[in-house]
Structure 1
Amino acid sequence: MAARLPHIPAWSLLSLLVLVLAACGKGDGAPQQGAGGGMPPPEVGVVRVATGDIGIVRELPGRLEASRVAQVRAQATGIVLKREFREGSDVRAGQLLFRIDPGPYAAQVASAQANVAKAQAAFAKANALEQRYRPLVEANAISKQEYADAVAAEKQAEADVAAARAALRAAEINMGYTTVNAPISGRIGRALVTEGALVSQAEATQLAVIQQINPLYINFTQSATEVTELRRALQEGRLKRAGSEGAQVRVQLEDGSLHPQPGRLLFADLTVDQNTGQVTLRAEVPNPAGMLLPGMYVRVQIEQAKAGNALLLPQQAVTRSPQGDTVMVVDANGNVSQRTIRIGGAQDSKWVVLGGLAAGEQVMVDGFQKLRPGAPVKPVPWGASSGPAGTAAVPASAPASAAAPAASAASAPASAASQAKKG
């Protein structure tokens, strides 16, 4: 017969259960306690403030324009014999573009040459008569009036030679207009006339257009109010001039990409448009590859001045409201406080902050949902935490470890009850 287990009182079982629970609570799976007996402070992403000279960049709408435009027009009347260029190609100054029938102008040149020869013959005759009369008048063989008439005839013949030569030069110039050359270097468009077309000097028939597209001009407008504020800030010393060679300009295309070569501001117009209240500005941008074309709509990013002791903050770090722009500042003890700042504009995806923060301060960028009134936080460099931005950096094993004591506690009563039943 099996030996009977000794009888265990109920209060002894209860004491044993309490001891088991206490031992489990001290195991390795228990959550760590903070310095104050609670959970550790949550991690928030921060950036450390570093001040310096920051460019004040404005983004303005503009249109591209060729730096030089030449309308090639007919200066001679006649039939176009041949086009000597390829449409849409680059041409150089002086390159032959069109040939116009030179026949009528060649005849005018020949006639002018004949007139020159005739005038030269008349001058030679008058000059010989003057030389023959000169010794005769000295010997009183002829009257002085006859000699004076010979001198006048010589000068008249000399003037006729000069006039004939001028007419010949004019005829040669007109004949030269029958070969139409490029006045500037650049890119030529389509031909506006074809072979066999009659062009007229009187109507100045347009033949083609040449545009110089390297460099290009950008015409853009800015509010007169912004221009006035900028000049006032420069005079008061709140802003610095961008540079001695003019403000730098970047061209943003319609697809959002930036032109690789930066440009420079040439001038700002002195007159404000009465209808729009805008001031027109012009910049020059290199275009060696010919990517930009005249007439294109672009966005101009212009750095007109620099702000001293300014800084850049990610836009998600700033809360904007009609009452003011604010940020959350974290001190060395992890305490969070709200700070009002002064914004001077946007640059890329960041705000240019002109005042309200000092160098070395830490500004929150993410983790705002973790803030609790009066509770400290643990600042970490923005983007350096292991978890996604805005989420708590809690180890993945924490939920399982926290669940372990509960499982042990749940199994302890069952084990004690089983022993009691056997007893």
Structure 2
Amino acid sequence: MPDNSYQAPPPPEVTVAHPLQKTVTIFIEENGETEVVEQADVRARVRGILEEIKFVPGQIVQQDDVLYVIQRSEYQAALNSAKAALAAAEAAIEVANAQTGVVEVELTRAETDFQRHKELLAKEAVTQSQFDTVLATRDGVRARREAAIAATAAAKADRDRAQANLDQAQLDFDYTLVKAPISGRITKTEIKQGNLVENGSLMATIVGRDQMYANFNVSDREVLRLQKAAQERGEPRNPEKDRYRDMPVYLRRELDEGFPFVGKLDYVDQEGVDQSTGTFAIRAIFENPDNLILPGLFVRVRVPVGKLDDALLIPEQALSRDQRGTYVLVVNEERKVDRRTVTPGQTEEGMVVIETGLTGDELVLIDGGQRARPGVEVSPTEINLTMPDESESVQTEAASPADEPVESAEAAPTEDQP
């Protein structure tokens, strides 16, 4: 007769592994936002009709490239007029100098005549009336010389004003060619060809993307870790240099594998920790030659602040969470499942550092946990964990199967096992 007795299902097959022990770099890891290092508005500096646009939106432009041409005829006429006014002022100076020269000759003659009549008067060889006439002539020539000198000074002042007007006219004429203030990619034009441009009108914006900032905040506790890391770099203290500057920083975008972008700390908030938020503002700078980092991106950044020897790492998939916190399942010597509450730290290439809760001797359940609960007997297969960059696949070691299958127990979760 067929055997209708109950047959217990075999223990669930699971994959287990001892935590990987290795030295890992400890990071401060935070969210950040990217910002362009260089950005400049292109603005008109003279008023006029926009005659020509010499770029296409998104084009890479170099500093001082001509981007727009504003109608030049009016400014050319003003420039020509200013040049003529300067030439007239220069000529007026020549005339004033010549007049001053004539008066100087007359004054020399008048001074000589005065001295001669003064001596003759002392000898009573000329009358007082004759001497007074010579004196009046000398004083008159002196007054004319002062007037000539003043006229020359006025002519020079007119020349300086004419030169200033010419300089401004030249600037205005040059400003009809609107040039790129920096190198970078230019946005679409804000003003269409044929429209009137006012002085100061925003015409476009140029964004330099060869470098990119990442702004982020760290907690006041992390500031202390950052300070310690900066002190342990071994560089001599230079009061002229920010101690944090040039510390390495790593960045990843949302879909990146790992942290492919390497930069350095560029600036920390000189006002210290913000009392309202308890955070410290930091900025990093990254080279961006391929324009892969766009401005305004939300990114993840990390700063190395030390090393942890013999850190315990397990795959992220081994972690579970419930109302009591984060935990892993381990398989004990009796091949039964226990729960261990753990404190996870940073992730490292798909592995997570376990800060507390494991000793390193446990067999952590890596795969097959869907049917495994605390108290349930399982059939484990042990593997050796490696970092993804150390091996393309994990090496497996099959554990000896149970001699006799046992009935699966539907036990409720228990308290943490030692």
TM-score (norm 2): 0.67
Distance (Å, rounded) in 1 between the aligned partners of 2:355 and 2:147:
93
Counterpart residue number, 2:18? 47
Distance (Å, rounded) in 2 between the aligned partners of 1:338 and 1:370:
8
Counterpart residue number, 1:207? 203
Counterpart residue number, 2:364? 365
Counterpart residue number, 1:28? none
Max Rg structure: 1
Counterpart residue number, 1:157? 155
Counterpart residue number, 1:384? 395
Counterpart residue number, 2:81? 111
The one-letter amino acid of 2:201's match is: T
Give the 3-state SS of the residue equivalent to 2:293 in structure 1.
Answer: coil
Q: CA deviation at 1:298?
A: 2.7
231 and 292 in structure 1: CA distance in 2 versus 1, 3 angstrom threshold: closer
> Does residue 352 of structure 1 match 2:353?
yes
49 and 327 in structure 1: CA distance in 2 versus 1, 3 angstrom threshold: farther
The one-letter amino acid of 1:210's match is: I
311 and 132 in structure 1: CA distance in 2 versus 1, 3 angstrom threshold: farther
Q: Assess if the C-alpha contact under 8 Å between 2:19 and 2:313 holds in 1.
A: no
Counterpart residue number, 2:303? 303
339 and 78 in structure 1: CA distance in 2 versus 1, 3 angstrom threshold: closer
Q: How does 1:65-214 map to 2 (within 5 A)?
A: 65-139=35-109, 140=111, 142-143=138-139, 144-201=142-199, 204-214=200-210
The one-letter amino acid of 1:123's match is: I
The one-letter amino acid of 2:98's match is: A
The one-letter amino acid of 2:70's match is: I
Distance (Å, rounded) in 2 between the aligned partners of 1:319 and 1:341:
10
Q: CA deviation at 1:126?
A: 1.0
Q: CA deviation at 1:132?
A: 2.1
Q: Assess if the C-alpha contact under 8 Å between 2:329 and 2:365 holds in 1.
A: no
Distance (Å, rounded) in 2 between the aligned partners of 1:244 and 1:275:
25
Give the 3-state SS of the residue equivalent to 1:50 in structure 2.
Answer: strand
Q: Gaps (5+ residues) in structure 1?
A: 1-41, 400-423
Give the 3-state SS of the residue equivalent to 2:291 in structure 1.
Answer: coil
Q: Assess if the C-alpha contact under 8 Å between 1:53 and 1:308 holds in 2.
A: yes
Query: Greater CA deviation, 127-136 or 362-371?
Result: 362-371
Distance (Å, rounded) in 1 between the aligned partners of 2:245 and 2:281:
21
Distance (Å, rounded) in 1 between the aligned partners of 2:205 and 2:383:
62
Q: Assess if the C-alpha contact under 8 Å between 1:45 and 1:385 holds in 2.
A: no
Distance (Å, rounded) in 1 between the aligned partners of 2:295 and 2:351:
32
Across the aligned residues of Structure 1 and Structure 2, the Cα RMSD in angstroms comes to: 4.2
Distance (Å, rounded) in 2 between the aligned partners of 1:393 and 1:303:
44
> Does residue 228 of structure 1 match 2:220?
yes
Q: Gaps (5+ residues) in structure 2?
A: 1-12, 114-137, 235-243, 386-393, 405-418
245 and 336 in structure 1: CA distance in 2 versus 1, 3 angstrom threshold: farther
The one-letter amino acid of 2:204's match is: A
Q: Assess if the C-alpha contact under 8 Å between 1:97 and 1:182 holds in 2.
A: yes
Distance (Å, rounded) in 1 between the aligned partners of 2:258 and 2:228:
33
Distance (Å, rounded) in 2 between the aligned partners of 1:366 and 1:155:
98
258 and 94 in structure 1: CA distance in 2 versus 1, 3 angstrom threshold: farther
Distance (Å, rounded) in 2 between the aligned partners of 1:189 and 1:348:
38
> Does residue 216 of structure 1 match 2:217?
no
Distance (Å, rounded) in 1 between the aligned partners of 2:45 and 2:374:
81
How many residue pairs get aligned? The number is 339
Q: CA deviation at 1:231?
A: 2.9
Cα deviation 1:83-132 (Å, max 9, x = unaligned): 11122110000111111111111111111112111111111111112222
Distance (Å, rounded) in 1 between the aligned partners of 2:282 and 2:197:
39
Give the 3-state SS of the residue equivalent to 1:362 in structure 2.
Answer: coil
TM-score (norm 1): 0.66
The one-letter amino acid of 2:170's match is: E
Give the 3-state SS of the residue equivalent to 2:298 in structure 1.
Answer: strand
Counterpart residue number, 2:268? 268
Give the 3-state SS of the residue equivalent to 1:385 in structure 2.
Answer: strand
The one-letter amino acid of 2:62's match is: R
